[in-house]
Structure 1
Amino acid sequence: MVNTLPIHALEAHVPAGPASVPTPLHALVHGACPPPFVEALRQALSHDPAPVGADPAGRDAHLTLRLRRLSENLPSARHMLQAPEQLAALIAWTAAAEPALCMTLINHTLLGLGSMTHLAPDHAPLEKKLDQLESARAKCSYLITEIGQSNSHLATRTRAVFDPQTREFILTTPDPEAAKFSSVAAHGVPRTGVVLARLIVAGNDCGVFPFVADLSDESGLLPGVEMTGPVELSALPLDYALVRFNDVRLPWEHWLRDDATLAPDGVFHDPLGSPDRRLQRTLCVGQGLWGTLPGAAAALARQAGVLAARYARGRRTQGRLAPGTPLLEYRSQQHAVLGAMADAFALTCAAARALDLWATSLSGPTEGGPTEGGDTMAFAPWTAVNRPLSAYKAHSIREAARIITLCQRHCGFAGLLDTNRLAAYHGFLQAFEPAGGDSQLIYYDLGRALADEVSGPVPAATPPLPSAQHPQWWPDLMLQHTDRLAHRLKGRCDTLAGAGHHSKGSFAVWNPLLDEAAELGAAYAARLAADDVVRALTAVTDAGTRTALEPLAALHGVLAARRHAGSLIAAGTLAPTDLDALSEITDRLCDAVLPHLPWLEDAFALPPDVVRAPLGAENYGEALDRTLNWKHGATS
């Protein structure tokens, strides 16, 4: 565990819980958090307040109470921002318990408080505000997206003009298209915004910085702040709104300037040396999001797999081929449900690696982080901030959404009911497809950067692959596949550039190649996750655990190859005859996984008093019945 309090110090913050020695799989799934922290988290999230009405004020009050309960029971936000394992567990568990609460927590803690913690050169002037936010007596929103332009992060238009007379900053929205969009409820709880704005000094553009702006107090909006009523988003119900600023004056200490300076004579100096480098640094909090969000996606995928497996075991079909047979005996159901468990396991391994990369970045530069030789910005800034972490974000969100959709489909109508949680999980993941760095733009930039790095011809011969029943088959296959895709994309880029006499970085060259760039970017991200599965298995020393996990890992690879058959065959990575054998191998691997399924469910599942989904109960009908309010007709 990195940068966390020892257990004896943590016990000052959380009540003692039952001590236990985790199995290797439990340690991989739930990390290295001390048992007292895990127990405190369970207690904080198992509290089930009264149902909330549809009105925004009631919804916001509900989420505020939940946020305060977390702050009262857990270590401080500033502690957890330096304790990756604990923060990742907090985000993963809240996502499974209540996705809207998780998004609130990400906005408030990771992005808002994270910006203030990491980019304020001196915390003392902000101490009162930090204390207020940490206790959830006020709430924080992160305001980055502007509604009028795509890729607005690359061209922020909100302005913070320096006033040399008062040494304040005047925050202004220049036109309606520059309005910010975020979850910014103002229902009697003070709301603070961390606003990304372009610093203007003596008419000069000095780059994009975060600024702390108070949006509202107990009485409502503050002078100069304009906000719409709630803009509803049913997939993830929060109080979203558009926000504009009309000459709002901000004190000097509300400029989160990092290591930039502005002398009394008005001379600005940024040691980073360029606006793009400053934007990368301003967006450094994104690394914390990308380091922890894969863990939340993996937790939702695991929970969906567990719920679907338990439902399939207890649900009997009355089909004429085999009346009374449990769904789980059908091969198609096994492919879906056991495949969901296998893919959730792969996401878990990838999440552990993403968290490790972020933890490393807290103490210094990390692999793929901002360096002079890092990715250049083209479609979005994200891969320039950190290539592998942005890839983990995009891959984990898309994969988890696919897994949950699959589980919903194989649970029939029950998979769609709100009370069974899968719909809310899917909505959370849908919201994060564009949020936290648009996944498609990340894939474009990944593919472009990887093609630019290609040198030399495609290797004439590739090393032989292991058996498809071996966990190493899929990582080796994806290494060959990404290499082939990169060489193919590089060749087409060179051809277009030569034929039209365009530069290789021009729109005319890349516009016809965007789908191929995204294909390569997605393959690169999948390859990272494939490598992480083998890395995790290598770290397991217990023979029994490895025996159970190896067929699960292999099943993930075989099913992924079948899903991506078109790309693999088109690139020449696999031949059609190679794919013919995968159907029988899939069945064999399912047979190897089935005996271990109860053990996997136990390791993957979060406590039922946190998730509260009837779908996972031993008797689904009875569990669902307990959630319903029956009405009875009058009797004569």
Structure 2
Amino acid sequence: MTLLTMQKIALEAADGPQARPALTDGPCGLGLLQLVAGPASPAADEAQPTAAPLVAELMHQLFDPADRAPIHGRWRDLIARKEFRHVPGLTTAERTELSYRRLRLVNDTVVSAEQLARDPRQLAGLHEWTAASDGALCALASIHYNLFLGSLYDHDAREGLSPYTSMQRTGTFLCSELEHGNDAPALQTTAEFDRAGGGFVLNTPGPAAQKFMPNTSSTGGPKSAVVAARLVIDGEDHGVFLFLTPLSDEAGTLPGIRVRRLPDRIGNPVDHCLTSFDHVRLPREALLEADHGRLSDQGVLNSSMGNRRKRFLQSIARVTTGKLCMSAASVGASRAALSIAVRYAHHRHISGPRAGERVPLTAHRSHYGRLLKSLATAYAMTFLHRTVTDRWAAHTPENRVETERLVAIAKAWITWQGRTIMIECRERCGAQGLFPLNGLADLQLDAEGSVTAEGDNLPLWIKAAAEMVFGHRTERLDARPASPQGQDLSDLAFLRDLLAEVEGLWQTRACTALRQGRRGDPLGRWNAASSSGLEMVSAHARLQAADAFIAAIARTADPAARSLLQDLCRLFLLQEISHHTGDLLAAGHLSADHIHALPPAIDALLHALAEHLTPLVDAFDLPEEYLAAIPIAHSSYAMKVSDFLEASPN
């Protein structure tokens, strides 16, 4: 069964006879949402009671039952513990030390470090939940379990790993240098093969080659690193490989290694450092070997790959799983931010239109509408992340390149959307959101790290655009020639195919720019095409999110939950389409009547969805212990703040 067929089946199920008829015919047969008489229920004094079956079904779709206990349940329970509550008044050093202590609690929770490192679903789940509590912990866990241990397991290293799995030593990953980040294949650190001694000499040739990475300081105890360096044999550069390198012991940094802590960065603090090596001798077994590179006893490199760039990419293949982890962190943090902001919107009361009247923030569509739009995106982010994680976990050598590209595209879109959501949630909570105690301020700042980690988003999309300009084709669900006649803005298939048309339009522009560019000037030709190429990738990311959303709707058994998800998906798609109405009109895919009807259709959806704010965030399943420690997540938030100040030693 092809993907296109599965999508059609999903849409037919989504719009099946059990679905609630949320739309009625309006002008031009466009099916505008009927406005319900009377005020939306969130204008009531308090949030409405949660409908348990509805929330259970939504939760069922967000967290597959097969994964919920072994993956999500473990990490959810972990962040519910008191050790993961916000601690005020700590210095930067104390906050970093706290994150390392929490890392050891993570390790106590792990059944098997090897199993965790090898399972992208488990790793993603760890990031999805810990990001809501401690962004620095999330980064430390990502480095230790995915980049460090994962690299060891992906190569031939099998023995002597107990110091790392028991956390006697913390693992780090040193790839980027001061002058080489996204162009890491050009890094300058060298590991020269010493024929006489049988080992390697690891060296930093100059200031530009200092490793610019966390987390190599003495904080957290002894450390070892997987270091990316150029393998040099008899003066010949064989490209970048990984070398297992002890950095410190209980007494401090080892000889020949220089570690200088960098100034504080934004967000939860991680011990970022500059790390350099002065002719550090490493044993023969320090080289991490696999089929892409093995060194014979005679000092000859044997490789299944003749291309040095391919060998490098294989050496750092763990970065792809790292992209999934960064996406997961953004998904989890976004859901946490929305859970807090929606609860605050119900509890915060302001002056009403009549003298002496008090109404909650949810009485105002200008307030709850923004949260609903963010919720629609957060659901799309979650469904896309589930789909991409499953595809990466099941990838084959034949589809690896395509799947890696999808992981990269999703990482950029999800982390960018997450940052936007967290900014929105912070702003919706006003000055209260500026205080880390209320759970939002650090989330917003930590989002910047996810945007940059494991590859800056813009270069990731530039690479994807270059690969997709030629030879990529997105199919419509409706094979008939695109025409706006008789099409309805309530039709998910129609809206989804409009996104496909947007992708195709930008792809055509990119192809045209490349073909018309001046020969002999490849950079100039790409500069002319890159803007259109990036728009193509952006539309592709949103289309993949829409397909994942639609597939989730098709899996939803409960009619009420399915109807709610349909409306939420419509809101997501209408938002996305609204940015491209000019192009779609010019290309004949939308009519002027469609464009006129689009804003009221979005507004009507916001009205219809308003009463479901609470169940939509309750389905995120944040632990009550986590929410109980956040004052603005409660109706008695003013008293909660006062109680906290009374209990504070300051």
Per-residue deviation, residues 123-171 of structure 1 (Å, max 9, x unmatched): 12xx2xx222222222111111111245331312111111122221211
1:92 to 125, 128, 139: 128
Q: Distance in 2 between matches of 1:288 and 1:341?
A: 26
Deviation of 1:574 (Å): 5.0
Q: Distance in 1 between matches of 2:334 and 2:587?
A: 30
Q: Which residue of 1 aligns with 2:331?
A: 298
Paired residue secondary structure (1:231): coil
Paired residue secondary structure (2:304): coil
Paired residue secondary structure (1:148): coil
Q: Which residue of 2 aligns with 1:418?
A: 436
1:178 correspondence with 2:178: no
**Change in 2 beyond 3 A, CA 1:200/1:572:** farther
CA contact (8 A) 2:256 2:278 kept: yes
Q: Which residue of 2 aligns with 1:47?
A: 81
2:197 to 166, 169, 183: 166
1:511 correspondence with 2:532: no
Query: Please, which runs of 5 or more residues in structure 1 have no aligned partner?
Result: 1-19, 375-384
Q: Distance in 1 between matches of 2:260 and 2:584?
A: 48
**Change in 2 beyond 3 A, CA 1:572/1:115:** farther
2:315 to 256, 271, 282: 282
Query: How many equivalent residue pairs?
Result: 586
**Change in 2 beyond 3 A, CA 1:94/1:188:** closer
CA contact (8 A) 2:240 2:312 kept: yes
State the AA in 2 paired with 1:430: E
Q: Distance in 1 between matches of 2:587 and 2:184?
A: 34
**Change in 2 beyond 3 A, CA 1:571/1:435:** farther
Q: Which residue of 2 aligns with 1:137?
A: 168
Q: Which residue of 2 aligns with 1:270?
A: 303
**Change in 2 beyond 3 A, CA 1:466/1:209:** farther
**Change in 2 beyond 3 A, CA 1:601/1:469:** same
Paired residue secondary structure (1:317): strand
CA contact (8 A) 1:292 1:355 kept: no
Greater shift, 391-400 or 158-167, is seen at: 158-167
Deviation of 1:307 (Å): 1.6
CA contact (8 A) 2:489 2:594 kept: no
CA contact (8 A) 1:471 1:554 kept: yes
State the AA in 1 paired with 2:228: L
5 Å-filtered alignment, 1:134-283, equals 134-149=165-180, 151-184=182-215, 185-187=217-219, 189-259=221-291, 260-283=293-316
CA contact (8 A) 1:473 1:557 kept: no
Q: Which residue of 1 aligns with 2:24?
A: none
Per-residue deviation, residues 66-105 of structure 1 (Å, max 9, x unmatched): 1111111231221112333332221111001111111111
5 Å-filtered alignment, 1:588-603, equals 588-603=604-619
Q: Distance in 2 between matches of 1:104 and 1:61?
A: 11
**Change in 2 beyond 3 A, CA 1:561/1:228:** same
State the AA in 2 paired with 1:190: P
CA contact (8 A) 1:191 1:214 kept: yes
CA contact (8 A) 1:303 1:605 kept: no
1:462 correspondence with 2:482: yes
1:436 correspondence with 2:470: no
Per-residue deviation, residues 433-462 of structure 1 (Å, max 9, x unmatched): 221111001111222222233699x99952
Paired residue secondary structure (1:626): helix
**Change in 2 beyond 3 A, CA 1:466/1:360:** farther
**Change in 2 beyond 3 A, CA 1:264/1:477:** same
Which is bigger in relative contact order (C-alpha 8 A, separation at least 6)? 2
Q: Distance in 1 between matches of 2:209 and 2:121?
A: 37
Deviation of 1:568 (Å): 6.0
Deviation of 1:48 (Å): 3.2
1:365 to 388, 397, 404: 397
Q: Distance in 2 between matches of 1:577 and 1:200?
A: 67
Deviation of 1:365 (Å): 2.7
Q: Which residue of 2 aligns with 1:9?
A: none
Q: Distance in 2 between matches of 1:53 and 1:595?
A: 39
CA contact (8 A) 1:42 1:610 kept: no
Q: Distance in 2 between matches of 1:59 and 1:630?
A: 20
Q: Which residue of 2 aligns with 1:625?
A: 642
Paired residue secondary structure (1:419): helix
2:416 to 398, 411, 417: 398
Q: Distance in 2 between matches of 1:123 and 1:493?
A: 48
Deviation of 1:577 (Å): 5.2
Greater shift, 530-539 or 572-581, is seen at: 572-581
1:481 correspondence with 2:470: no
Deviation of 1:463 (Å): 5.1
Paired residue secondary structure (1:206): strand
1:561 to 577, 588, 595: 577
State the AA in 1 paired with 2:482: T
Q: Distance in 1 between matches of 2:613 and 2:550?
A: 20
Paired residue secondary structure (1:432): helix
**Change in 2 beyond 3 A, CA 1:34/1:353:** closer
Q: Distance in 2 between matches of 1:59 and 1:359?
A: 34
Deviation of 1:512 (Å): 3.6
Per-residue deviation, residues 267-325 of structure 1 (Å, max 9, x unmatched): 21210221121122122112212233323222222222222221112222226578522
Paired residue secondary structure (1:96): coil
CA contact (8 A) 1:474 1:530 kept: no
Q: Distance in 2 between matches of 1:92 and 1:165?
A: 48
Q: Which residue of 1 aligns with 2:145?
A: 109
Q: Distance in 1 between matches of 2:610 and 2:382?
A: 20
State the AA in 2 paired with 1:469: S
Q: Distance in 2 between matches of 1:424 and 1:390?
A: 25
State the AA in 1 paired with 2:506: L
Q: Distance in 2 between matches of 1:213 and 1:570?
A: 59
State the AA in 2 paired with 1:448: A
**Change in 2 beyond 3 A, CA 1:281/1:473:** same
2:404 to 383, 386, 390: 386
**Change in 2 beyond 3 A, CA 1:205/1:565:** farther
Q: Which residue of 1 aligns with 2:8?
A: none
5 Å-filtered alignment, 1:26-105, equals 26-31=59-64, 32-33=66-67, 35=69, 38-49=72-83, 51=87, 54-55=90-91, 57-105=93-141
Query: Please, which runs of 5 or more residues in structure 2 have no aligned partner?
Result: 1-52
**Change in 2 beyond 3 A, CA 1:196/1:149:** closer
Q: Distance in 1 between matches of 2:184 and 2:354?
A: 57
CA contact (8 A) 2:157 2:288 kept: no
The TM-score, its normalising length taken from structure 1, stands at: 0.85
State the AA in 2 paired with 1:399: Q
**Change in 2 beyond 3 A, CA 1:272/1:565:** same
5 Å-filtered alignment, 1:573-592, equals 578-592=594-608
**Change in 2 beyond 3 A, CA 1:53/1:218:** farther
